[in-house]
Structure 1
Amino acid sequence: MKITCDQIKISDHFLSGEACLGKQRVLISLKTNSELERLIKSGKSLYLANLKADISQVEPATNPGEFDFAQYYKSKKINYRLKISNYRIVLKKQTFFDKLHYFRFKIQNYLRSLPKLVSFFASEMILAENPSKDNKDILNNYRDLGVIHLLSISGLHVALYTSAIAILATVFKRVQSEIIVSCIIFLILEVFFSNFQPGFVRASLSYIYGVLFNQKKIPITSIDKLGVVVLTHLFINPGLFLSTGAILSYLLVLGLELTQNTSQLKQGSLLNLLILPIVLHYFYQVNFLTTVFNLLIVPIFNFVLLPLTFLAVVIFPILPRLVDIIERIFKNIIMFIDYLAKTNLGKVTFGQINWWQTIIILVITLSFLIYFESKKINRKLLSILVGAYGIYFTLIHFPLYGQVSFIDVGQGDSILITTPLKRKVYLIDTGGKLRFGNFAKNDPQLNRITIPLLHAQGIDKIDGVFLSHQDADHIGDLAPLLKQVKVKKLYFAKGLTNNLSFQKRIRGKIQHTKLVPLLAGDKVVEPGIVFNVVYPFEEGLGENKDSLSLFFKIGQKKWLMTGDLDQEGEKKILEHYPLLKVDYFKLGHHGSRTSSNTDFLHSINPSVVFISSGRNNRFGHPHPETLDTLKKLSIPYLNTQDSGTITWTYSILGNKKLTTFLKKEKE
């Protein structure tokens, strides 16, 4: 196995990144030693022999709306992940490509030595990579405003590089053929340094073919040249269009060709209209003021950020104080962009349109652009387009179905409940990451799981969040949820607010959210659903034994959710509600032996139970004893660790269906 220093990262003596196993690229992770770290820091390409490793496929998304890493890495020809437990380091003579990787490694280190914001923009523009996780807010702001394309190296950078080379060559009195060869060599090297970023590869191929056709005096239209570029790019990387960036890049170039005779403002609007179906399919949100923000931010980027970034890269070794001034300029620009993004002006959570809807709208939009000059045809196409978007928006925001979804949040609980038509949205627990030892905090998993799932369904506000108890795996992501999504009411077992840990969790996060304490016997009456509280019977501090337990009826089916309630609590429920029967039950405490005993399950008599537990969790949930109990009682179960998100839906027409994200089953 070959490791190149620019393709991996080391943190806390743990190495992760990409490597080559023969001719195949793979993801790797392993614990390092001092010798390995020393060699990697020297920039050498290394070989690992005598490998002992667990091999698995790159994990796909397990929730609707979640980013699919399996598809992303497939576009980079990576399908497998190796967790290496044993290896031997082998040193070999460095090849030409090893030296290129070494040079890229030195560029990485140099750019990381620059002030933070200068480093960020330089790394994005030269290497097409983000040097630090701390810059995610900047990327999110650019994405929310619809100007994220500015950070992708593409045609603008090719034009910049080739123009700079041409000017230098003219100064040194080089002939045209030498200029062309120099440009092509530089672009090929930059393709390598940018890690084959699709937009830059496309723009570089376009330049090379343009020069070739011009030299050979081959007449070809710009659309035909784009077709040749696409075929060449697909030959190099057959999985090209598994990448969202590649789809958007080629679509924008096609749009530029179709709208080249329009004004700048009109062209910007038409280009945003063209990529809108792709944006909605992958990102679920759109900013209808994107054209305005582009007109505002593009000049700042082109005439301030871009030139100052390259200037800073060049002068940093000799004039670091001047680069500090540039950093302050960047800081003010970032503050301005952050302010614009935080206003949420023009931002709409539309929801996800599926593939066939995306293709239909894309075809209509392309036809609209092609026949843009024909007012009669254009008016009809525009009416069809507006109608299609209107229908899709209505179906997403006023759905014909309701649901109960057990979100796959790993080792934790989070259950989404919605009603049909005039949709009401409720969440039982938020999930959250259990942390052991002194580990630095990462981004909340809510950002990659729950928020995308909500946005995919067009949900940007929640009517009520029920908190079962205070454990991190149930409400650890409450604070980031309150920060990003409007929550009308927060329901919890009475006494939870006396818990110091819970107080700390919500401090400063509750603004327009109403706090509602509950005890057994209380009811939460909402349109289309009534939540009956069946536990606890007295105040507690939000421990497992105090878990808020809910019984409700939806779609003519009875449900029971008991959080992490133990067997003693289950007995108390039976004592007070001896006739309680349910159709569906969320198994207590992730399938632990401490919950859901035989008598309780036999009494409530569910037709199916659901388990929310993490893959390879350290607790061994669900416990074998619990699964044996289910088997003896002939109760089937579904587990999020096997099925991903489990969704039960019911329609206003009476249809009911039970599906799982990783494999589908019918009720």
Structure 2
Amino acid sequence: MWTLLVDGWSGSLLTGLWLIRLWRLQLRRFLILNLISMVIPIVVGWHAQHVVQVNERAIAQAGNQVQTWELLVLPDQVVNTKTSMHGSGQLESHQRVSFHGQPLTNQGERLHHCVRLRVQGSLTPNQPASNWAAFDSQSFARGHGLSGDLRITKVAVVQQVRPPTIAAWFHEWRARELRRTNQLPPQLRVYVQSLLFGVRTADFQATSTGFKRLNLIHLFSIAGLHVYVLLNLWFFVATMVRMRKSHAELGAMLLLPLYAGVAGGAIGLVRVILVVEQRYWAKLGKWSRSGLDYWAFALMIFVVVNPWLIGQLGFQLSFLLSFTIFYCQKTTNVLKTVMLNLVSLPLLLAYFFEWHWLSIIANLVVVPFFTVGIFPLIISNYLCYLIFKVPIWGTEPLLRWLTQVTDQVASLPGVLPFGQPPWFLVLLLVGTTLLLIENWTWKRLGWLLVLYGVSFLIIHYPLNGEVSFFDVGQGDSILVREPLNRTVTLIDTGGKPNFFARQGQPTVHLAPTMTIPYLKSQGISRIDNLCLSHQDADHIGDLTCFLKTMEVKRVLIPWGMDRNQHFMHKIRPELHNTQLIGVKAGQIVPGTHLQILHPYHPGLGENQDSMVLWGQMGGKTWLFTGDLPKAEERELLQHDPQLRANVLKLGHHGSKTASDDRFIAKLAPQVGIISAGRQNRYGHPNQETLVTMKRHHVRLISTQTAGMIRYRYGWFEFRPKFETKWKDTQHGSEPSN
């Protein structure tokens, strides 16, 4: 089921081979059971997909109009801060949606209970990721049963209501306990809220950086080890009070589902509880079942209840690792940890694109320490705080020390920028690793190493090149990559308009979620040329982020921009081994076919000083003009009357200050690329520009309606064409392949 949903053709191929294998082995009964076990989830999954699509179409028909909505909100599903309010709730139509808007200041305390909000706002469907390799919020929302996103402009009524169900009462209790834990010291609070209640706060994201890089984040995911620690604690207490074993087991059967609700229903937690519950029920009924049967039935329950979870990494890792444990039952704990790391590696590469070789050593050391020491200590602190109102002395320094050590180890050299293997290779890598675990031979190890080698070569030495326009909202960022990754050039970085914020103000970077994941997925850790068209923050606001996280050989800026002291003050501390080069018309971008056509005179990096690049790639000629105004466009034609381009990146995001009529007529582009933010306050692209493009028969593709735009060319691209992340119905661009 997972292979069919995640990667259709390879999943269908592997499923077909598996069924043919069963038929050839004449395992007819097992074959029928396999078919039934596949048909039921597929039918249920199709029905769930149909329901979600109907709900999303209904939301889309609302047309993003401001309306009045009734919203039932549970107290542990809303976050109300000084600057914003966000969470999830249920509409009168019983659809669950996420929401965000202005904070409640005078009635915020009511959010500690179940409330019914009457709000004004616009409801839109959840959008898929607009860039390849970026986090897919639509898939995440579907996995959590959310049909849309409500942008609240005004809260008219806040009405406290009694919990409508027993489950809602548990949500109130959970919210009350979370408020109680807010009084704990910072590090202890993060550990208690994440481990016991399954809450991921902003403090958790800041604290867990080292754990993420070392692949230790599963320790915070309410995994099986937490359940067994709690069970051991329960049976210890039952023994102390002389409770009969059968009664203690019955109590565990009743308490475990309640804890699943208290902990937020994390996938790993629910999976373990389902397995444990099956064991207890089988013991009561005197049935004989294997652990693998319990695992398979838990998988079926998940798929039937919520098929959308299949596409989430947490689901995939939880069931894959628990399945692997059956192969490692007779091995030592050290070898088991190594095997679990090996079998999870293909999935981690598929989602995170890199691997730290110290992660295996870190798991060997930290997992036992966490199981035996940290988790019992966290439970003891929580109970101690409930009874005595103070945590255990020494816990906070210990947790700070643990965080500092993991951060320091994670910062050591050893990160392998592998890239994202194709899904069919991910499946082959997982299968080959399982075969190696089942029966270790040099031949199987050799095949595994060959598969990793092939994956690495495919990613790092691609036979195709590309010109890609990232969707960075209101801004520009363009990747020009030659076949075999001979040179990698990035034109502008995108960014929010806070690059020149005052000292002390936080800078918000878009690159870590929009552009850098795609570069890492392509195995790119080095940028040969980072060309900055001019100084505006929507073009270079994320420059320092690239300089900090990637190897950048050269930063090219327009002639004279190094005299801009404010710009130099921002980037000088981050340059290190990066060359800063001022360029002017007549030069070539080092190692590429990109020619610099502008500027002709030194400037400070204003719009009129924009760096203009022209090049020939993939059988087409390309022109990138930054925010060059109309007067400078006409000046380009005066210097080069023969200038032509098949593809034009429209200047200034389609503003009427660029795309001069005579310039477009002389240039004669076939395709125009617009990089602008959706519903931006500037009204880009301007209607005057659109009329000009239509008059000259220029086919437009916009990141507003198409998301990321990519043109691939090379030895195996027989008919290179533009592909877009979304289907651009407005401008008629090609859908994503």
Residues 1:464 and 2:529 aligned together: yes
SS in structure 2 of the partner of residue 63 of structure 1: coil
Match of 1:64 among 132, 141, 144: 132
Deviates more, 1:512-521 or 1:323-332: 323-332
> Quick check: 1:397–1:423 contact (8 Å CA) kept in 2?
no
Amino acid in the other structure paired with 1:498:
R
1:18 aligns with 88
2:330 aligns with 261
Match of 1:117 among 160, 169, 187: 187
CA positional deviation for 1:209:
0.9
1:581 aligns with 644
> Quick check: 1:44–1:98 contact (8 Å CA) kept in 2?
no
Match of 2:578 among 513, 516, 526: 513
- Give me the whole-angstrom Cα distance separating, in 1, the residues matched to 2:420 and 2:472: 20
> Quick check: 1:496–1:540 contact (8 Å CA) kept in 2?
yes
Amino acid in the other structure paired with 1:625:
E
1:391 aligns with 454
Number of residues paired by the alignment?
655
SS in structure 1 of the partner of residue 616 of structure 2: strand
Deviates more, 1:147-156 or 1:60-69: 147-156
User: How do 1:485-524 residues align onto structure 2 when only pairs under 5 Å count?
Assistant: 485-524=550-589
Match of 1:477 among 523, 537, 542: 542
> Quick check: 1:520–1:534 contact (8 Å CA) kept in 2?
yes
> Quick check: 2:384–2:390 contact (8 Å CA) kept in 1?
no
CA positional deviation for 1:93:
2.8
> Quick check: 2:194–2:204 contact (8 Å CA) kept in 1?
no
CA positional deviation for 1:322:
6.1
- Give me the whole-angstrom Cα distance separating, in 2, the residues matched to 1:135 and 1:504: 32
Match of 2:721 among 652, 657, 660: 657
> Quick check: 2:465–2:485 contact (8 Å CA) kept in 1?
no
- Give me the whole-angstrom Cα distance separating, in 2, the residues matched to 1:422 and 1:4: 51
1:175 aligns with 244
> Quick check: 2:558–2:602 contact (8 Å CA) kept in 1?
yes
1:102 aligns with 172
Q: 1:321 to 1:514 in 2, by over 3 A?
A: farther
1:517-568, CA deviations, whole angstroms, 9 ceiling, x for partnerless residues? 1111222231xx2222111111111111111111122233221111111112
2:661 aligns with 598
Amino acid in the other structure paired with 1:275:
S
CA positional deviation for 1:381:
3.1
User: How do 1:505-654 residues align onto structure 2 when only pairs under 5 Å count?
Assistant: 505-526=570-591, 529-652=592-715
> Quick check: 1:467–1:492 contact (8 Å CA) kept in 2?
yes
SS in structure 1 of the partner of residue 394 of structure 2: helix
1:4 aligns with 74
1:267-316, CA deviations, whole angstroms, 9 ceiling, x for partnerless residues? 22222222222212222112333221111222332344323322332334
CA positional deviation for 1:35:
4.8
SS in structure 1 of the partner of residue 698 of structure 2: coil
Q: 1:495 to 1:127 in 2, by over 3 A?
A: same
SS in structure 1 of the partner of residue 495 of structure 2: coil
Q: 1:194 to 1:666 in 2, by over 3 A?
A: closer
> Quick check: 1:432–1:472 contact (8 Å CA) kept in 2?
yes
CA positional deviation for 1:13:
5.3
> Quick check: 1:19–1:27 contact (8 Å CA) kept in 2?
yes
SS in structure 2 of the partner of residue 421 of structure 1: helix
Residues 1:451 and 2:516 aligned together: yes
- Give me the whole-angstrom Cα distance separating, in 1, the residues matched to 2:124 and 2:393: 46
Residues 1:402 and 2:465 aligned together: yes
> Quick check: 2:347–2:426 contact (8 Å CA) kept in 1?
yes
CA positional deviation for 1:230:
1.4
SS in structure 1 of the partner of residue 721 of structure 2: strand
2:433 aligns with 365
TM-score, length of structure 2 as denominator length: 0.85
Amino acid in the other structure paired with 2:512:
N
SS in structure 1 of the partner of residue 483 of structure 2: coil
User: How do 1:127-166 residues align onto structure 2 when only pairs under 5 Å count?
Assistant: 127-131=197-201, 133-166=202-235
Amino acid in the other structure paired with 1:60:
P
Q: 1:403 to 1:123 in 2, by over 3 A?
A: same
CA positional deviation for 1:473:
0.6
> Quick check: 1:5–1:45 contact (8 Å CA) kept in 2?
yes
Amino acid in the other structure paired with 2:266:
Q
1:218 aligns with 287
CA positional deviation for 1:33:
4.4
Q: 1:447 to 1:13 in 2, by over 3 A?
A: closer
2:8 aligns with none
CA positional deviation for 1:417:
0.8
> Quick check: 1:273–1:365 contact (8 Å CA) kept in 2?
yes
CA positional deviation for 1:38:
3.1
- Give me the whole-angstrom Cα distance separating, in 2, the residues matched to 1:33 and 1:130: 22
- Give me the whole-angstrom Cα distance separating, in 2, the residues matched to 1:442 and 1:641: 24
Aligned-residue Cα RMSD (Å) equals 2.3
1:189-218, CA deviations, whole angstroms, 9 ceiling, x for partnerless residues? 221122110000011111111111122221
Amino acid in the other structure paired with 1:70:
Q
- Give me the whole-angstrom Cα distance separating, in 1, the residues matched to 2:287 and 2:135: 43
SS in structure 1 of the partner of residue 486 of structure 2: coil
1:21-50, CA deviations, whole angstroms, 9 ceiling, x for partnerless residues? 24332111233444542311xx2101134x
Deviates more, 1:179-188 or 1:199-208: 179-188
Can you give the 5+ residue segments of structure 1 that lack an aligned partner in the other structure?
none
Match of 1:289 among 334, 358, 369: 358
Deviates more, 1:540-549 or 1:87-96: 87-96
> Quick check: 1:60–1:71 contact (8 Å CA) kept in 2?
yes
SS in structure 1 of the partner of residue 590 of structure 2: strand
> Quick check: 2:86–2:99 contact (8 Å CA) kept in 1?
yes
> Quick check: 2:534–2:606 contact (8 Å CA) kept in 1?
yes
- Give me the whole-angstrom Cα distance separating, in 2, the residues matched to 1:7 and 1:516: 51
TM-score, length of structure 1 as denominator length: 0.94
1:147-202, CA deviations, whole angstroms, 9 ceiling, x for partnerless residues? 21111112111111111111112222222233123222322122112211000001
- Give me the whole-angstrom Cα distance separating, in 2, the residues matched to 1:556 and 1:240: 43
User: How do 1:254-403 residues align onto structure 2 when only pairs under 5 Å count?
Assistant: 254-316=323-385, 323=392, 325-345=394-414, 347-370=415-438, 372=439, 378-403=441-466
Amino acid in the other structure paired with 1:158:
V
> Quick check: 1:587–1:609 contact (8 Å CA) kept in 2?
yes
Amino acid in the other structure paired with 1:314:
L
Q: 1:623 to 1:14 in 2, by over 3 A?
A: same
CA positional deviation for 1:458:
0.8
> Quick check: 2:432–2:444 contact (8 Å CA) kept in 1?
yes
User: How do 1:72-111 residues align onto structure 2 when only pairs under 5 Å count?
Assistant: 72-86=140-154, 87-95=156-164, 96-111=166-181
SS in structure 2 of the partner of residue 509 of structure 1: helix
Deviates more, 1:300-309 or 1:656-665: 300-309
Deviates more, 1:297-306 or 1:153-162: 297-306
> Quick check: 1:13–1:33 contact (8 Å CA) kept in 2?
no
2:11 aligns with none
Residues 1:55 and 2:123 aligned together: yes
Deviates more, 1:406-415 or 1:500-509: 500-509
> Quick check: 1:265–1:291 contact (8 Å CA) kept in 2?
no
Amino acid in the other structure paired with 1:454:
L
- Give me the whole-angstrom Cα distance separating, in 1, the residues matched to 2:506 and 2:726: 29
- Give me the whole-angstrom Cα distance separating, in 2, the residues matched to 1:381 and 1:575: 66
- Give me the whole-angstrom Cα distance separating, in 1, the residues matched to 2:631 and 2:280: 79
Deviates more, 1:422-431 or 1:291-300: 291-300
CA positional deviation for 1:581:
0.9
Percent of matched pairs sharing the same residue: 31
2:46 aligns with none
- Give me the whole-angstrom Cα distance separating, in 1, the residues matched to 2:582 and 2:104: 52
